[in-house]
Chains A and B, each alone.
Chain A
Amino acid sequence: MKRVVLFFLLLVFSGVVRAQITADSIQRLDDVVLSDVKLKRYSHGYKVSVLSDSLLQKNRSSFTDILRFNSNLYFKENGYGMVSSPSFRGTNASQTAVIWNGISINSQLTGQTDFNTINTTSFKNVVIRSGGGSVQYGSGAIGGSIHLNNTLSFSPHFDNTVTLSYGSYDTKNVSYLSSYAKDKWSFNIGLNYIDSDNDYKYLSTDKRNTNGAYYNGSVNANVGYVLSSKDVLKLYHQTFLGEREFSGTSSSSSLAKYDDQNFRTMVEWSHQGDQTFSKLKVAHLQEHFKYFGNKNTENYTFGKVNTYLINYTADIDILTDLKLKPIVSYNYYEGSGSSFDDPNRKEFSTTALLQYTPNNQWQYGLNLRQDITSGFESPLLFSFDVAYEVSDYYTLKLNGSKNYRVPTFNDLYWQPGGNLDLVPENSYQIDLGQEISYKSAQLNLNAFYIKTTDLIQWEPNTSGFWSPENIAKTQNYGVEASLDVSKKIKEHHLSLQFNYAYTVSEDLETNAQLIYVPYHKANFNLAYAYKRMSLFFQHLYNGEVYTTPENLSGRFYSVEAYQVSNLGVSYQLFKTKSQQIDVSLKVNNLFNTAYENVAFRPMPDRNFNFQIQYKF
């Protein structure tokens, strides 16, 4: 009944809206350029940080490394380049949503995204949105969400970037980015290929990472076409093909290999109506993995899921200070794999986002979502957020939400063990943020509390196999601080970014810290530019993490805290109005520190990367 009422409300709202004249042309430009408007317009009470394309381009490294060194996220990486899963505010890997141009791309099999299967060079920006976002982004957005955004601009331009790099462990990377727009067309394309032996030395041993080689290629191709003065059609596509050997531990090597194939295609039609600005999205996502226990044989296990999605949304200005965005979405998932038959799942969801801006100082958001899913009951989700600009220098932000994570295909259908009686994990949270900005300095302080119940955990059952149950309860709380300062003195540019997070994430039954959640994590980036030369230094401190539920500390049972630094220098060889050549050298793990990120899986020693980039 509740659902019916909600859906009815949505329909009524969109029906009774009175005619609006485009009030804010800049905002509408955003609507045309961005594929994910809700990130910009419905997240005022949230901490949202942006990693720009210049950072992604300049600081070429894996997505894991970019986030490790530039955000509060903690990563659990099974050796460099291997499976990498995030922990956002102490939540687990399937509680961080990864959003590609507005739609979730977390695996339907595992619930999480392996961050080493994402190449960021072709994205306009990467946005980190802290805090619960299930209302907007669906399952898994509990700790926060990571947004990969492409933009299509229609102002005439033709820009190309070719990048070649070579580094330690015979690492070769080539990429080509091109962006073109003229008249009614806009294109951008990104091609990237990387290949590495990744056979780094395990420091203080005589061993190397013998089974860690990888290569992957990705294609991002986006096209926009202006159909009429009111209609724009866009196509987004991404292909990722990768093959990785899975390295073993410091004491035993491995023979395993893993293939990833991911295809994502979305068509978006936006229409500027008399009353509303509406968008219709149709998308197809395919994830497909093959796991070879022994790379020398042809035997493998696999999993594959196709997702078909149709999504309709409208941006409605009910009043000048009151905006409504209803979203209706239907997802159909079909899976197949070695460990289950051919299950499928249907999901229908209705969402209403309401944004009220009574004056320049206050922003209120109220959001509701209800899913109707085949197989299990989904809870009614809500979120609210408030931003209050106390003064020009000081803004207070508050948000609270109820979020969820649905059981994955593995949880439901794995044979044996899959449990069809599972319900989604439920999570409540509250987050208070303060933003202090003065001149070119900005300080963000956040405190959060998250309580999650019905956590899905695989346990051995009485029949002799493992099965998932909704049993665990956890609470996470902590504080985050981010400081951003830049200073320009004559021709000297200096900038500093600093992040620190204190995170407690505990099992409510044992009151013990969850494994692989550090209490402390900090990083800073120092950049200096003078004329044609620029330099950066980045440093990461990652606190000790426990690997046992008993929280034993020491050489064998916990992963020691570590500090690691990178240094980069780049020089502009050549620059004209339309052409530019940059060369850069980066030293990773500058001080040749022996460290592990996951127990008994050493990370690389000092290594070098040389890059040449030509823009025209």
Chain B
Amino acid sequence: MKRIILSIFAMSLLIVSCSEDNDDNISTEPLGAYEDGIIISGEGSPSSISFISEDLTTSENQIYFNANNEATGVYLQSLGFNDDKAYIVVDAGTITVVNRYTFEKLATISTGLTYPRYIAFANDKGYVTNWGDPNDETDDFIAVVDLTANTVINTIPVGNGPEQILVEDNVLYVSHKGAFSTNNIVSVINTSSDVLTTTITVNDNPDEMIVDNNGDLVVLSSGKPAWTGDETKAAITKIDMDTNTVSTTLEFSDGQHPELMMYLNGNLYYNLGSSVLSITDDATAVTSTPLFTTGATTLYGMAAKDDRLYFVDAVDYTSAGQLFIYDETSYSLINSFTAPVVASKIYFN
């Protein structure tokens, strides 16, 4: 009975609000509090997600916790966005599906994943890189997710330590940073057949990937650092996606191990420590002259959009993180916000 009254009441509200609408002007009801803006995820702990409105006037921390009264888990690796949903990938082996505009929880995928890292979407399916047991170099796989049932329906075995995953024309490109050890390949997967078609060898520890304006896949390999006793060179590698072969390799000097990369308006940005450097699409060598140095203590993530460069600072890995926003041309600081603990990834909603 209570329900009926409630629904009548709800309907009456709807009628009232509809009647107030101007029929010529189709209403654009906001989809949720987090519709337009920047989403920052932090590994933790505690892991959390922050939101900053696109006009930078409002910000809110722990949006998932605020919406669901539970934390996001240990450790929050990355987010993925598809249609009106966001997917929160947690190392412990879960993906939480939420409404990307309200961050209200819709479903949890908790079986079939072992040490998941990143998610991408193609052919109406989700693809999740999984380390398996990080000490085992032979059990790594890509989990194929049914996005309606939110279950893992298939696995594609791949080489050790699959990390980031990028989709171009329904083809998956997976960088293999090598989990707890090291690797030097990019896997290519056909999403119609869900099989591994080829692997491309690049420099050691490939991680970040983008597609540049020439239509090349650009892969940043950070190389093995000196402390491993077996230093190898970092490189920016360009891959021709028609032939799946390496077209250009721009190597860094010893001692230079960039780990982050972003792309905006024909400029490829990467880091050396907390300094930011850039080259253009047709550059024949990397530069080691910084454009500017961010205010970050521990630069841990970067992304670019609409004339702005965004950087997250993991600080000391225990204090609250920071988000710094710089102007793309003047490299001046526009604003900064507090971010999650071990803030690592920046997304645009």
Residues of A within 8 A of B (CB): 205, 248-255, 293-294, 297, 299-301, 416, 459-460, 462-465, 515, 547-550, 552, 555-557, 599-600
Contacts and interface: CB of A to CB of B under 8 A. Distances in A.
A251 B61 CA distance: 18
A463 B226 CA distance: 8
Interface string B322-338: 00000000000000000
Contacts of B341: 548
Interface in B56-95: 61-62, 65, 70-74, 90, 92-94
A455 to B, nearest CB: 14
A293 B71 contact: no
A253 B135 contact: no
Contacts of B71: 249-251, 556, 600
B318 A297 contact: no
A248 B46 contact: no
Given A250-B71, A251-B73, A463-B225, A556 B133 contact: no
B114 interface: yes
Contacts of A416: 227-228
9 contacts: A251-B72, A252-B90, A255-B92, A297-B135, A459-B316, A460-B298, A463-B226, A464-B257, A548-B341
Which label, helix, strand, loop or mixed, suits the secondary structure of the B interface?
Answer: loop
A463 B73 contact: no
Contacts of A251: 70-74, 90
A151 B225 CA distance: 55
Contacts of B134: 293
A294 B139 CA distance: 13
Contact of B46 (A254, A515, A550, A600): A600
Contacts of A547: 46
A466 B32 CA distance: 40
A599 to B, nearest CB: 6
A297 B73 CA distance: 22
B319 interface: yes
A464 B228 CA distance: 11
Nearest to A557: B46
A465 B226 CA distance: 11
Contacts of B70: 205, 250-251
Nearest to B228: A416
Interface in B126-170: 133-136
Contacts, number: 84
B320 interface: yes
B317 interface: yes
B257 A293 contact: no
Contacts of B226: 463
Contact of B92 (A254, A300, A460): A254
Contacts of A463: 225-227
B219 to A, nearest CB: 19
Q: Which 8 A-B pairs have the closest CB atoms?
A: A252-B73, A252-B92, A299-B135, A251-B73, A251-B71, A416-B227, A297-B133, A294-B133
A502 B319 CA distance: 25
B92 A465 contact: no
B48 interface: yes
A178 to B, nearest CB: 44
A299 B298 CA distance: 32
A53 to B, nearest CB: 40
Given A294-B133, A299-B133, A550-B320, A253 B92 contact: yes
Nearest to B297: A460
Contacts of A552: 320
Given A463-B226, A556-B48, A548 B318 contact: yes
Contact of B135 (A255, A293, A459, A556): A293
Nearest to B68: A251
A544 B223 CA distance: 45
A248 B70 CA distance: 14
B46 A556 contact: yes
Contacts of A294: 114, 133
A555 to B, nearest CB: 8
A254 B227 CA distance: 31
Given A249-B92, A293-B135, 4 more contacts: A251-B72, A463-B226, A464-B225, A552-B320
A173 to B, nearest CB: 30
Contacts of A293: 133-135
Given A299-B135, A547-B46, A549-B319, A464 B227 contact: yes
Nearest to A296: B133
Nearest to A555: B65
Contact of A249 (B74, B228, B257, B319): B74
Contacts of A300: 135
Nearest to B62: A556
B104 to A, nearest CB: 15
Interface in B167-203: none
Nearest to A294: B133
Nearest to A204: B69
A253 B317 CA distance: 22
Contacts of A515: 318
Nearest to B91: A252
Contacts of A600: 45-46, 71
Contacts of A465: 225, 227
Nearest to A600: B71
A254, A293, A462, A599: which has the most chain B beta carbons within 10 Å? A293
Interface string B37-62: 00000000110100000000000011
A464 B314 CA distance: 13
B316 A255 contact: no
Contacts of B61: 556
Interface in B285-323: 298, 316-320
Given A250-B71, A251-B70, A556-B46, A548 B92 contact: no
A460 B65 contact: no
Interface in B209-260: 225-228, 257
A556 B93 CA distance: 22
A547 B47 CA distance: 12
